Amino acid sequence: MRLNSEILAALSEATPGLRRYARAIGAGAAAAVADGLVQSALQSVGARLYARELRPAGPEEARLESYIALTALAARKSLDAPPPGPRHPPIVHGLAALPFEERAVLLLISLEGFGYDAVARIVGAPRDNVMEWLRRARRSLSGDVPATQSADTPRPHPQAPHLRIVK
């Protein structure tokens, strides 16, 4: 019984991070949409815990399961997401332009602080794919020119990325 209370406490503590992640992965979606994703993800994890389909070894594993559920829900919802409006900052437009996998990996690592192995588990992909998606996402957001461009073409000065970690 003690483990269940620890797991519920961990999920409760994870809620602000889940909200932050949901809002960022939505890339400009309304706050109500992000909050709906969080609620659905937590309900899904709670139902699986109650039905004993999910038996996390501890609070951290339950937290991972909530991010897995949220990422899966966000992937399904991202197909109908409208693009960010003109009032959104450039970083939101940059995130929205990324493929979903690259956006999820970038946010899970840089915003949520997960390691490569945890992110691989959350997105359901091998670690090598995670590292490649992260490299592509960072390159896209930094404004680097693709490697296929000829060497004599002048390269623009890369801008510093505008991501910041919010805790």
Residue 162 lies in a domain: no
pTM of the model: 0.78
Residue 149 lies in a domain: no
At residue 144, the pLDDT reads 56
Residue 17 lies in a domain: yes
Q: How many domains does one find in the chain?
A: 1
At residue 26, the pLDDT reads 84
Residue 30 lies in a domain: yes
Residue 18 has pLDDT above 60, yes or no: yes
Cα–Cα distance, 14 to 129 (Å, whole number): 26
At residue 167, the pLDDT reads 55
Residue 133 lies in a domain: yes
Residue 147 lies in a domain: no
Contacts for 73 with CB less than 8 Å, ≥ 6 apart: 37, 40, 41, 44
Residue 153 lies in a domain: no
Q: Using CA atoms in the order 114, 115, 116, 118, what is the torsion angle rounded to 10 degrees?
A: -60
Helices 116-123, 59-77: inter-axial angle, 10-degree rounding: 50
At residue 60, the pLDDT reads 84
Residue 115 lies in a domain: yes
Cα–Cα distance, 9 to 43 (Å, whole number): 15
pLDDT (tens digit, 9 = 90+) per residue, 32-76?
888 899 999 999 888 888 888 878 777 888 889 999 999 999 998
Token pair, residue 8, equals: 């519920």
Domain that holds residue 131: 2-142
CATH number at residue 41: 1.20.140.160
DSSP 155: P
